[in-house]
A and B are shown apart, each in its own frame.
Chain A
Amino acid sequence: MVKLTIDGQQVEVKEGSTILDATKKLNIWIPTLCHHPDQAVKANCRMCVVDVEGQRVLQPSCAFPVTEGMVVHTHSQKVRSARSNILELILAHHNQDCLHCPRNENCELRIIAEKMGFNKKLRFPLHIKEGMDTSSPSIVRDLSKCINCGRCEYACNEIQTVFAITKENRSFDTLYTTPFGMDLASSPCINCGQCVQACPVGALTIHDDTEKVWQAIDSDKLVVAQVAPAVRITLAEALGEEPGSISTGRLVTAMKQLGIDVVFDTDFTADLTIMEEGTELLGRINNGGVLPMITSCSPGWIKFCETYYPDHLANLSTCKSPQAMFGALLKTYYANKIGKKPQDIYSVSIMPCTAKKYEANRPELGRDGYADIDVVLTVQELAKMIKSAGINYKDLPDTQFDDPFGLGTGAGEIFGATGGVMEAALRSVYEIVTGEELKNLDFTEVRGFEGIKEATVPVGNLNVKVAVAHGLGNARKLMDAVRAKQVDYHFIEIMACPGGCIGGGGNPIKNWEKMAKRLKAVYEEDKNLPRRKSHENPAVSELYKQFLGEPNGHKSHELLHTHYFNRSDILK
């Protein structure tokens, strides 16, 4: 342990801690911008500089290690002056339209200016960086708001290994942008939105589709929504409550109050996916099909695979994602059931995911000139609609999801966490193959935030070898091993976002501390549901009986399965 003094107060911290760690222990606020608790230290914004006695210059508290007997001043004249000037320099190179910026509520720059009491006129002429990119269905890039912190580049290159965003030029002209000024839609971007999650300001935001939904609500169309598993975990947080506050019943009420006609639960098609995918997996194992089979519900992962591993498209499960399966059922089976034309149903999907907007636009997800999913709204967008409608989310009563697609099991619900799809699949595959009841439903070996998890699960005569990866940097490691034939898994789950869907780009801004709380809630909700195995979902069984026939049958293949494309041209 190391003892040091900060602003006259003694504090003791572990060896190897930074001054910032020590100030946190003392609850002293230090402004930071380039610092992110889940990323490597950059020390480039210089907002966190402090006065360390004996040092020639001010030192960045995010990077400078503590030493025994160190004496630090966090608001000496030198520090106050430096902080103010640094903030002023950033503001003089920044878009000034804060009043209508989508990030103005939680903009880290605005919060710092407020906490510092910065209210002087800028002494430097205003320069605004040029570059507005709305080419992507998922993410909006506004360079005029970029403060060159580098957090997006770290997320895209170091964590996700997608390499869509990089740096251009040097000095005053340094920009965080795509190579050769290509727009995001032409870049290797896979729409995961981790850059949006990393950005401290409004330079990277979610593509806002709320107006489309308002217009649909105002029209004659039947507005039918589906709600992803992770949404019930993160929506309350987006509306100011504690991370991990589950609000399943309240969100249905809120959506009905907004004017959405029907609210279904994507957990239902998550269960359906398990039936289709489990059957597919067993088919491949028993009939010499392509292994390892890899999950296909994460659209960010799918585009990543199509771009970087097009030689392994055959490994992907042909199952559509739960969102896509739902879309197909709504516009065929459900439309028919309620006597409506598919064009008169407006299907909205509420997702924690920005890449779902890209997925919904895939031409193969529709038929006869219409799309299965008309619009995807992320959690952040739904929260915006709820707030603007004046709904008091905190005190809403619960409402049930609508029939016949409102019933989901715990297996479907845990899709929201990394390892959830794998665990749900194992729960069903085990019972279906062995005919025995699982004593313990909790496959804890595939749970948690470790980058790559492995397990061997005895299922009857077969030891099923599985792997789970989350975050595309980990996916890349796993896929390189698959490509080099260094591993022999049967089944792999890959989620593009670190942590799985609860870490998706469309959720409220996260860090691993909040993620731990969201994760806990996922498994809590699972435990509290009356049914926890997909094959025990009576609504799913009913659907097969009434309409689909059998898993992987003809109707399933027509509506619930898909195909993929080689997009490696993007790199050439």
Chain B
Amino acid sequence: MLNEVEKIASAYKGRKDMLIKVLRDVQPLTNNTLTPEVAKTIANAMDIPLAKVYNTATFYALFSTEQRGKHVIRLCRSASCHLNQAEELLDQIAKKLQIKVGETTTDGLFTLETCECLGLCGSSPSMMIDEDVYSNVTFDQFKKIIGKYR
């Protein structure tokens, strides 16, 4: 896995402005987790300090240094979704997956997170799983959707 990370990162050697893109591109390879090893691989391949990889990655909500799963479920919790029962849906999902928000299922498949406004305020509740966008999500629909990722 680190070899693939190295391959992606070294294409941007010396291009510190491309760090965010590199961090995004390696997510699927690394279970969406930036471990010290992955961070150091990126740092060495891009020829930038580890400190920079770390300070940038920990700033943006997309990345995480905590262990995550193969797929990240993000449920919007912002104002309009909040007024349209997003929290109730979140509770139902958490119960079904048997995890709390921020945790990963025991099979390592799904991490459940909340996120801020996805720009689908007219069709709340809204959700993303990795880069797939879903709106007007009901619990029944969620159960169907999640099947696609197993």
A contacts B directly in the complex (CB < 8 Å)?
A: yes
Interface residues of A (CB under 8 A from B): 157, 163-170, 179-180, 188, 571-572
Q: Would A166 and B54 count as touching, CB distance under 8 A?
A: yes
Other-chain residue from A167, A168, A169, A571 in contact with B50 (beta carbon distance below 8 A): A571
A194 to chain B, nearest CB (A): 15
Tell me if B55 and A166 are in contact (CB < 8 A).
Answer: yes
Chain B residues contacting A157 (CB-CB under 8 Å) are 49, 51
Q: A572 touching B44 by the CB < 8 A rule? A: yes
Contact B59 A163 (CB under 8 A): no
A-B residue pairs in contact (CB < 8 Å), sample of 23: A157-B49, A163-B49, A163-B50, A163-B51, A164-B51, A167-B59, A168-B54, A168-B55, A168-B58, A169-B58, A169-B59, A170-B58, A179-B36, A179-B39, A179-B50, A179-B51, A179-B54, A179-B55, A180-B54, A180-B65, A188-B50, A571-B44, A572-B44
Contact A572 B40 (CB under 8 A): yes
Kindly report which residue of chain A lies nearest to residue B61, judged by CB atoms.
Answer: A170
Known: A179-B54, A571-B44, A572-B44. 4 other contacts (CB 8 A): A163-B49, A179-B39, A571-B50, A572-B40
Distance of A572 Cα from B58 Cα, bound (Å): 20
Select the residue from B54, B55, B59, B65 with max chain A CB neighbours within 10 A.
B55
Minimum C-beta distance from B62 to chain A (A): 13
A179-B40 Cα distance, complex, nearest whole Å? 10
Closest residue of chain A to B34 (Cβ to Cβ) is A180
The total of chain B residues at the interface (CB under 8 A) is 15
The yes or no answer to B52 lying at the interface (CB within 8 A) is yes
CA distance A571 to B39 in the complex (A): 11
Q: Which residues of B contact A188 (CB under 8 A)?
A: 50
Distance in angstroms from A48 CB to nearest chain B CB is: 25
For B58, the chain A residues whose CB sits under 8 A away are 167-170
Q: How far is the CA of A188 from the CA of B51 in the complex (A)?
A: 10
CA–CA, A239 and B52, complex, Å: 39
B39 touches A163 (CB 8 A): no
A571 CA to B43 CA, complexed, in Å: 9
Contact partners of B52 in chain A: CB under 8 A: 163, 166
Q: Is the CB of B51 within 8 A of A170?
A: no
Determine the distance from Cα of A572 to Cα of B38 in the docked complex, in whole angstroms: 10
- Whether the Cβ atoms of B55 and A167 lie closer than 8 Å is yes
Q: Give Cα A167 to B59, complex, Å.
A: 9
Residues of chain A contacted by B43 (CB below 8 angstroms): 571
* Contact residues in A for B53 (Cβ distance below 8 Å): 179
CB distance from B128 to the nearest CB of A (A): 20
Q: Pick the contact of B36: A165, A167, A169, A180 (CB < 8 A).
A: A180
In this complex, the member of A164, A166, A167, A571 whose beta carbon has the largest number of chain B beta carbons within 10 angstroms is A166
Assembly CA distance A211 to B36 (angstroms): 37
**For B44, what are the chain A residues with a Cβ–Cβ distance below 8 Å?**
571-572
Closest-CB distance, B65 to chain A (whole angstroms): 7
Complex alpha-carbon distance, A571 and B40, angstroms: 7
What string of 1s and 0s marks CB contacts (under 8 Å) between B20-58 and chain A?
Answer: 000000000000000010011001100001111111001
- Cα–Cα distance between A165 and B43 once the two chains are bound (Å): 15
- Least distance between B93 CB and chain A CB atoms (Å): 25
B-side contacts of A164, CB under 8 Å: 51
Q: How far is the CB of B102 from chain A (nearest CB, A)?
A: 14
Of residues 88 through 145 on chain B, the ones whose CB sits less than 8 Å from some CB of chain A are none
How far apart are B51's CB and chain A's nearest CB, in angstroms? 4
Point out the residues of chain A lying under 8 angstroms from B59, CB to CB.
Answer: 167, 169-170
Give the CA-CA distance A165 to B52 in the complex, in Å: 10
- B39: which A residues are within 8 A, CB to CB? 179-180
| Chain A residue nearest in CB terms to B40 | A572
In the bound assembly, the distance between CA atoms of A157 and B36 in angstroms comes to: 20
Contact B51 A165 (CB under 8 A): yes
The CA-CA distance from A143 to B58 in the complex, in Å, is 18
Q: CA A168 – CA B54 in complex, angstroms?
A: 7
Which residues of chain B come closer than 8 Å to A166, judged between CB atoms?
Answer: 51-52, 54-55
- Complex interface: chain A residues within 8 A of B51 (CB): 157, 163-166, 179
Q: Please, which residues of chain B bring their CB within 8 A of the CB of A163?
A: 49-52
Provide the bound-state CA to CA distance between A164 and B51, in Å: 7
B87 → chain A, closest Cβ, in Å?
A: 21
Give min CB distance, B124 to chain A, whole Å: 24
Interface string of B60-73 (1 = CB under 8 A from A): 00000100000000
Residue from B36, B49, B51 with most neighbouring chain A CB atoms (10 Å): B51
Per the bound structure, the CA–CA distance linking A275 and B49 in Å amounts to: 39
Alpha-carbon distance between A168 and B58 when the two chains are bound, in angstroms: 6
Nearest chain B CB to A309's CB is how many angstroms away? 14
Using Cβ atoms and an 8 Å threshold, which residues of chain A touch B40? 571-572
A168 to B36 Cα, complex, angstroms: 14
Bound form: Cα–Cα A502–B148 in Å: 66
Q: Which residues of B contact A170 (CB under 8 A)?
A: 58-59
Query: Cα distance A545–B39 when bound, in Å?
Result: 56
| B39 → chain A closest CB, angstroms | 7
Bound together, the chains give a CA A180 to CA B53 distance in angstroms of 11
Looking at the assembled complex, report how far the CB atom of B76 sits from the nearest CB atom of chain A, in whole angstroms: 19
Using CB atoms, name the residue of chain A closest to B65.
A180
Q: Report the minimal beta-carbon distance from A189 to chain B, rounded to whole angstroms.
A: 11
Smallest Cβ-Cβ distance to B54: which chain A residue: A179
Q: Give A180 to B50 CA distance when docked, in angstroms.
A: 10
Among A166, A170, A179, A180, the one with the most B-chain Cβ atoms within 10 Å of its Cβ is: A179
How far does the alpha carbon of A571 sit from the alpha carbon of B36 in the complex, in Å? 11
Give the distance in Å from the alpha carbon of A164 to the alpha carbon of B55 in the complex. Answer: 12
What B residues does A180 contact at CB under 8 A? 36, 39, 54, 65
Which of A163, A164, A571: most chain B CB closer than 10 A? A163
Instruction: Provide the bound-state CA to CA distance between A170 and B61, in Å.
Output: 10
**Which residue of the partner chain A has the closest CB to B48?**
A163
Task: Determine how close the nearest CB of chain A comes to the CB of B34; give it in whole angstroms.
Answer: 9
Q: How far, in whole Å, are A166 and B65 apart by their CA atoms in the complex?
A: 15
